[in-house]
Structure 1
Amino acid sequence: MKIIKQMYWMCSRQLPFILFLAYLLAIVTAPLFTPHDPLEINMNERLLEPSVEHLFGTDHLGRDLFSRILAGGQVTVGTGLLVLIIVLLSGVPLGMMSGFIGGRFDRYFMRIIDSFMAFPDFIIAIVLSGILGPGMLNLIFAIVVTKWGSYVRLARSTVLSEKEKDYVLMAVVNGLSTFKLIRKHLLPHVVGNVFVLATLDFGKIILLIASLSYIGLGAQPPTPEWGAMLNESTPYFHSSPYLMVIPGIAIMSTVLISNLAGDVLRDRFDVKG
């Protein structure tokens, strides 16, 4: 009985993370399962209800909604992953460098970060996207600028808390180079915390991408993107509510799974927050 309880506990704690990885894999392989061309217009089949031929029905231009949801997942989730990778590769090294060097560089650099984090994420993203104009490249840049500060601060705070500990001081006394010191002693502590934040943050990035596309600052027609699909479906909400409900469920499920996976990792790495 004890073994069964342990197995149940392990499965219940690991299941969200497994679902998250499986979800990402399904998004990546989505083109293999699209039964129709997501961009093909057929006005003779516009606004069809869900059926065997069109699993989720068709939109106002007769395009298969199931195919567009799968293709839109690649745009929305793929863009979110790209943003996350750019943020990690830029924010984490700068944060570690700022915490390790300290002094004037740290003080001036953190004032810049504080200026970015003084406003809500959505406000900064919408202002930058509005200035730069609509488009996915501008959207990616706006969200990267919005999110990178939190990773800089997290990496910096972790380095500051670890670099004064005895094992780090002993490594310095023993002549360990700065690069090896960071790689062997500081980076492992940073990775766990950053990984947890990234998983929890992924859902917020997805919401930002969908929100900006919904108001016309992200993906442009005819590109299938979940937020843009919500915008296109607004006039047909009363007659064909599934056109908005299905993309909304896709966004909600992605955010929910990423949050559950982040909770598992937070418990795994014992991150307080």
Structure 2
Amino acid sequence: MINRLRTTNSVILLMGLFLIAIIIAPFIAPFDPNQVNMANRLKPVSLEHFLGTDHLGRDVFSRILAGAQTTVGTSFLVLAISLLLGVPIGLVSGYIGGRLDRILMRVVDAFMAFPDYIAAIILSGLLGPGIFNLIFAIVMVKWVGYARLARSTVLTEKQKDYILIAKVNGVGSMNILRRHMIPHVLGNVMVLATLDAGKIILMIASLSYIGLGAQPPTPEWGAMLNEAKAFFYNAPHLMLIPGLAIMVIVLIFNLFGDYLRDYYDVKNQNGGR
């Protein structure tokens, strides 16, 4: 129990520190992330350049910090839009049911017929490269998961006695959704969103790596990997550093998602006793 508590506190601390670093990145970056200086190209790690420089002499440490804002910030934006789109659709579909539910779920099934990555690549390819097209493409493949999760939770809850009693007492549908359904949905949605954040970060980095996401000179971890691949033998740190950054942040989000899943499982179990 003590070891588990320490692990939980460590995960929360890491998450907090990383988010703080992202927020204050512009203030702690020692150089302009887009400043080109060909006299300093491919410099190794040093006291002046903590993580060396890239093929255009740009400071890698500054670009990693700026890239965190682009990659992680974009993933948060994708998550927020997906939640705002998917959760209300799932709530309404599950609560009202009938023909509306069948129509909405057929739309959801159509989007879920293809793997996330394949659908995102196809949409990004059709729309063209760019960060806004990337956001749109990923939202289109992610909102359906939240809609289906919200719907399944509502379908389970609306059959319970307290919902039936609320209806008999004349409580309106909006009040039932707001006071009873949304609190039950939020826990499950938060767990899925935290676990999904790592997947979205990987998707953003992957699409940027193949040229469908952020475009140079925008500092983004996947785009940085793409730019560095030609210099892997001469300056391997240019690929290793953004690769490690992606791995670490995805691991942190997955650990935090596991913590939330365990927390809400325990909460639900205690509530059911």
Distance in 2 (CA, whole Å) between partners of 1:69 and 1:268 is 32
Number of the residue aligned with 2:219: 224
Number of the residue aligned with 1:97: 92
Number of the residue aligned with 1:11: 6
**What are the superposed Cα offsets for residues 178-213 of structure 1, whole Å, 9 maximum, x if unpaired?**
111111111111000000000000000000000000
AA partner of residue 138 (structure 1):
N
8 Å Cα contact 1:132-1:138 kept in structure 2: yes
2:223 matches 1:189: no
Larger displacement relative to structure 2 (141-150 or 24-33): 24-33
8 Å Cα contact 1:14-1:264 kept in structure 2: no
Q: CA deviation at 1:9?
A: 3.6
2:203 matches 1:203: no
2:30 matches 1:35: yes
Number of the residue aligned with 2:271: none
Number of the residue aligned with 1:255: 250
Q: CA deviation at 1:11?
A: 2.8
2:112 to 106, 117, 125: 117
**What are the superposed Cα offsets for residues 123-163 of structure 1, whole Å, 9 maximum, x if unpaired?**
00000000000000000000000111100000000000000
Name the SS of the counterpart of 1:164 in structure 2.
Answer: coil
Q: Residues 1-273 of structure 1 correspond to what in structure 2 (within 5 A)? A: 6=2, 8-270=3-265
Distance in 1 (CA, whole Å) between partners of 2:230 and 2:86 is 41
TM-score normalised to structure 1 length: 0.95
8 Å Cα contact 1:73-1:225 kept in structure 2: yes
Q: CA deviation at 1:24?
A: 1.6
CA RMSD of aligned residues (A): 1.2
Q: CA deviation at 1:59?
A: 0.1
Distance in 2 (CA, whole Å) between partners of 1:237 and 1:12 is 35
Name the SS of the counterpart of 1:168 in structure 2.
Answer: helix
Q: CA deviation at 1:42?
A: 0.4
8 Å Cα contact 1:20-1:258 kept in structure 2: yes
Unaligned runs of 5+ in 2: 269-273
AA partner of residue 63 (structure 1):
R
Distance in 2 (CA, whole Å) between partners of 1:10 and 1:226 is 32
Q: CA deviation at 1:10?
A: 2.4
Distance in 2 (CA, whole Å) between partners of 1:199 and 1:189 is 17
Distance in 2 (CA, whole Å) between partners of 1:260 and 1:237 is 30
Q: CA deviation at 1:108?
A: 1.4
Distance in 1 (CA, whole Å) between partners of 2:225 and 2:139 is 23
Q: CA deviation at 1:118?
A: 1.1
8 Å Cα contact 1:75-1:225 kept in structure 2: yes
Q: CA deviation at 1:18?
A: 3.2
Count of paired positions: 267
TM-score normalised to structure 2 length: 0.95
Q: CA deviation at 1:14?
A: 3.4
Distance in 1 (CA, whole Å) between partners of 2:143 and 2:34 is 34
Name the SS of the counterpart of 1:27 in structure 2.
Answer: helix
Percent of aligned pairs with the same amino acid: 62
Unaligned runs of 5+ in 1: none
